[in-house]
Amino acid sequence: MAIHNLLNGQFLNRSSVIGARFMSSWFRNIQPAPKDPILGVTEAFLADQSPNKVNVGVGAYRDDNGKPVVLECVREAERRIAGNQFMEYLPMGGSIHLVEESLKLAYGENSELIKDKRIAAVQALSGTGACRLFAAFQQRFHPNTQIYIPVPTWANHHNIWRDSGVPIKTFRYYHPESKGLDFSGLMDDIMNAPDGSFFLLHACAHNPTGVDPSEEQWREISSQIKAKGHFPLFDMAYQGFASGSPERDAKAIRIFLDDGHLIGLAQSYAKNMGLYGQRVGCLSVLCEDAKQAVAVKSQLQLIARPMYSNPPLHGALVVSTVLGDPELKKLWLQEVKVMADRIIGMRTTLRENLENLGSSLPWQHITNQIGMFCYSGMTPEQVDRLTSEFHIYMTRNGRISMAGLNTGNVGYVANAIYEVTKST
Amino acid sequence: MGSSSVFSVASASLSLHDTNIKKNLNFGTNAFRFNNDGTNTFSNFKSSRRISMAVAVNVSRFEGIPMAPPDPILGVSEAFKADTNAVKLNLGVGAYRTEELQPYVLNVVKKAENLMLERGENKEYLPIEGLAAFNKATAELLLGADNPAIKQQRVATVQGLSGTGSLRLGAALIQRYFPGAKVLISNPTWGNHKNIFNDAGVPWSEYRYYDPKTVGLDFEGMIEDIKSAPEGTFVLLHGCAHNPTGIDPTPQQWEKIADLIQQKNHIPFFDVAYQGFASGSLDEDAASVRLFVARGMEVLVAQSYSKNLGLYAERVGAINVISSSPESATRVKSQLKRLARPMYSNPPVHGARIVANIVGDPVLFGEWKAEMEMMAGRIKTVRQELYDSISSKDKSGKDWSFILKQIGMFSFTGLNKNQSDNMTNKWHIYMTKDGRISLAGLSLAKCEYLADAIIDSYHNVS
């Protein structure tokens, strides 16, 4: 091949030039990025050789043997879609079936809003992608606004709105003394924010604290947000996974809908269907009418096109197969309840162990909190000790991923926590 | 903003009332029903404070949002679907079709998926940079497994969401670390390139590329424009099978382009969406990229497996940055990850596993190469047929040989917008308005019809 000969010839001739060019790189100003605080934990865990090591870092579900789980309903769905003859591009807005099923799950099976076609919705790259689409959309159509996010929140929320060019403000959320909700602080901050601000709310199983408002508190939050004309954006990454019931976990959203809010909603199937790696989610924006919904959807697609053109198919096929088939959906509901129940069981066990060990500290927050995570209240230094002395890996904010606990290690972890918090 | 929204709500809810006078305005509660006499049951509600506040939320924050224009490329397929005429032909979007004009899932892909199904692997998060086995395979496919750049660990590879997502990561890297740097893109280029750089906040301008007189490459114009760009400009190059024209530089021209880019201290940014799909040979189609890398240049390369593995829907690709040292590659990779995390956290696993399984198995890899040759071969055959048909029917003496010189899925017919519209309106042939046809959507059986349409549009429409 002519081009190959040319290539070889040139390579030899230019070797001296190559050497000279290596003196300075275009990329010398690029600094190494700091390790991602969450995903970096797993990296460190994997590198640890200790037989006792425990990973309570990243929020991925594990069974009682500490193994990742692929749901039976998912396996069955995959068998059914195997040999799928269609691998062409999805539309920019993604799989219509996936979106339909997602809206039913979140807004209600028989929601009028769906019938009236008032919801602009697109398939998104899991929860991250859904939030990113919304952040970009917010920046484009309301460039002078900020997003209010709770303190604390999932670390990546900061990155998402920052990279989208939307300034971030915070509102009080976690109350360290009670390890519960700072409700009055929250309400004050909603009230004091300028009218028409954008508020990010965790629909259920707040990440990282596990602290959720009660139903009554949600109603008051809804009123106050309404009074201020704020825009509520829900991040729902754990529907079904928190209480074991998807309907129950959507309660906050339903309260807001009943109150007449025009919400935004980011949904993820990473945890509740165990489809972490498939990146399946949905972004929806409730509009005044069908015409507006069509316009908003078209603009969301315009944002997606230069990011990834159209979303991946496989995960969407799995989800729409599971949710679209009554038998499979029933199986899913059972399986998601099993996951939620195991976690609730681990909360009880961890708390009991700590109390039985004779810890003088209060631990009821472990069972008061809900979902995958527990905000233990431990300091970064205590967390560091857990890692260095006991090979227990978690994020330095004291967040424990309950899914990483099982009957085999909960005693060990309880003991370790007791040890490092003894002097507190 | 807030107070005005309350104010404008009052009028908005009135207009809603007017247009829906007989309807129930059901916003989810009884509170919002307007009776026929215009009163609102809300007026019976306990707290008067709640009434005025409650009405406020009915005005959307997105009221004034206009309908986005249809995507020029993806919109073509939508229009085609809506056409009920029996002779219609879709030469719009670039997805491969068989001679029967059916979508094609490669046999190796089916085999790989079955393997994966049997193995029952878990669905855990990939690392931010993607599947390690895929990243290794894709860099080796691109550069050759024994490429010194790989051996010296100078290649930073991050799995991306097909070509689009990989380009976007590259664009975001440029925006963040090369403030003020511009990208030069070919005129014309794939429509989405401009969107990608726009949304990433990277300014761009164009270099001449297509010469309508020859329906070939405007090489002089290209060289001039690259030369006159300020030092340190990123130059976006199509590795092979230029989209939309199908016109590629010759090997000698690539040498000159590389000379110039080196001279001007520009940075080449390759978009490689058709490796193996253009000529049928993975190595041949990567020659341009390998040429630049062999010269020791630092290069960005976005790859896609949409066409060559038919994995359109699974969004598999990679952004590669070949830099001057392993240390630099490490730093660059870490920053690419930092850009990806707030976009989608980590890339989808399914397509990456398919690629890794195929490339990792010599038998499957061999089968893939054969299927790729078959696809590229069908396109070459169809080009020949179209050329033969047009040149035998067209008596004007016009030189149609560009059809054979062009390569890959697309061809620039040289038809202008009006002529392209004629193709659609009169002949029910769907293509993009720049005169681009997708040969992947053409069958041998339809070549004659297409020839007639092109001749008619070219000669009878201005």
β-strand pairing of A231-236 with A180-181:
unpaired
Cβ burial of A293 (10 Å; 0-12, 13-18, 19+) is: buried
Reported as a single tens digit per residue, the pLDDT across B225-275 is 999 999 999 999 999 999 999 999 999 999 999 999 999 999 999 999 999
Residues of B in contact with A260 (CB under 8 A): 27-29, 31-32, 54, 57-58
User: Residue B10's CB: how many other CB atoms inside 10 A?
Assistant: 12
Q: What is the pLDDT of residue A24?
A: 64
Q: What is the pLDDT of residue A424?
A: 62
Q: What is the pLDDT of residue B31?
A: 34
Q: Is B358 helix (H, G, I), strand (E, B) or coil?
A: helix
Contact A125 B161 (CB under 8 A): yes
Catalytic residue among A182, A271, A297, A363, which? A271
Q: In angstroms, what separates the C-alpha of B456 from chain A's closest C-alpha? A: 32
Contact A90 B120 (CB under 8 A): no
Reported as a single tens digit per residue, the pLDDT across A335-376 is 999 999 999 999 999 999 999 999 999 999 999 999 999 999
Residues of B in contact with A22 (CB under 8 A): 296, 324-325
Q: Chain A within 8 Å of B168 (Cβ-Cβ)?
A: yes
Residue A163 known to be catalytic: no
Q: How does DSSP assign B162-192, residue by residue?
A: HHHHHHHHHHHHHHHHSTT--EEEEES--HH
Contact A309 B251 (CB under 8 A): no
pTM: 0.88
Nearest by Cα to A289 from B76, B132, B15, B201: B15
Contact A89 B343 (CB under 8 A): no
Q: Determine contact, residues A58/A277, Cβ cutoff 8 Å.
A: no
Choose between B4 and A193: higher pLDDT: A193
Surface of A (58-87) touching B: CB under 8 A: 58, 60, 68-70, 74-75, 78-79, 82-87
Range in B15-29, B54-68, B82-96 the model is least confident about: B15-29
Query: What is the chain A residue with the closest CA to B318?
Result: A308
Instruction: Quote the strand ranges of B36-181, DSSP E.
Output: 89-90, 155-161
Active site positions of B, annotated: 190, 271, 307
Reported as a single tens digit per residue, the pLDDT across A244-276 is 999 999 999 999 999 999 999 999 999 999 999
Mean pLDDT of A48-69: 92
| Helix extents (H) in A82-214 | 96-107, 112-115, 126-141, 155-163, 183-192
Q: Is the pLDDT of residue B91 over 80?
A: yes
Q: Chain B within 8 Å of A115 (Cβ-Cβ)?
A: no
Measured between alpha carbons, how far is residue B414 from residues A69, B250, B417 in Å? 55, 20, 10
Q: Is the pLDDT of residue A327 over 90?
A: yes
Q: Binning pLDDT at 50, 70 and 90, where does residue A161 land?
A: very high
Residues of B in contact with A302 (CB under 8 A): 68
Q: Chain A within 8 Å of B350 (Cβ-Cβ)?
A: yes
Amino acid identity, residue A222? S
Quote the CA–CA distance of A257 and A251 in Å, as a whole number: 10
Reported as a single tens digit per residue, the pLDDT across B190-199 is 989 999 999 9
Q: Is the pLDDT of residue B35 over 80?
A: no
Choose between A104 and A39: higher pLDDT: A104
Mean pLDDT of B355-372: 96
Quote the CA–CA distance of B277 and A158 in Å, as a whole number: 41
Q: What is the pLDDT of residue A86?
A: 81
Q: Binning pLDDT at 50, 70 and 90, where does residue B75 land?
A: confident
Quote the CA–CA distance of A260 and B431 in Å, as a whole number: 45
Choose between B47 and A240: higher pLDDT: A240
Reported as a single tens digit per residue, the pLDDT across A172-222 is 999 999 999 999 999 999 999 999 999 999 999 999 999 999 999 999 999
Q: Is the pLDDT of residue A120 over 50?
A: yes
Q: Is the pLDDT of residue B44 over 90?
A: no
Q: Is the pLDDT of residue A382 over 50?
A: yes
Q: Determine contact, residues B272/B142, Cβ cutoff 8 Å.
A: yes
Contact B27 A314 (CB under 8 A): no
Q: What is the pLDDT of residue B360?
A: 93
Report the percent of chain A where pLDDT is more than 70: 94
Closest CB to A258: pick one of B12, B29, B123: B29
Q: In angstroms, what separates the C-alpha of A17 from chain B's closest C-alpha? A: 8
Report the percent of chain A where pLDDT is more than 90: 85
Surface of A (251-280) touching B: CB under 8 A: 257-262, 270, 274-279
Q: Determine contact, residues A230/A196, Cβ cutoff 8 Å.
A: yes
Q: Could you identify the residue written with the tokens 């041998």?
A: B444
Q: Binning pLDDT at 50, 70 and 90, where does residue B7 land?
A: very low
Mean pLDDT of A128-144: 97
Reported as a single tens digit per residue, the pLDDT across A391-405 is 999 999 999 999 999
Range in A3-17, A97-111, B236-250 the model is least confident about: A3-17
Query: What is the chain B residue with the closest CA to A228?
Result: B2
Q: How does DSSP assign B226-259, residue by residue?
A: HHHSPTT-EEEEESSS-TTT-----HHHHHHHHH
Which residues, other chains included, contact B249 with Cβ-Cβ below 8 Å and sequence gap of 6+? B217, B219, B257, B288
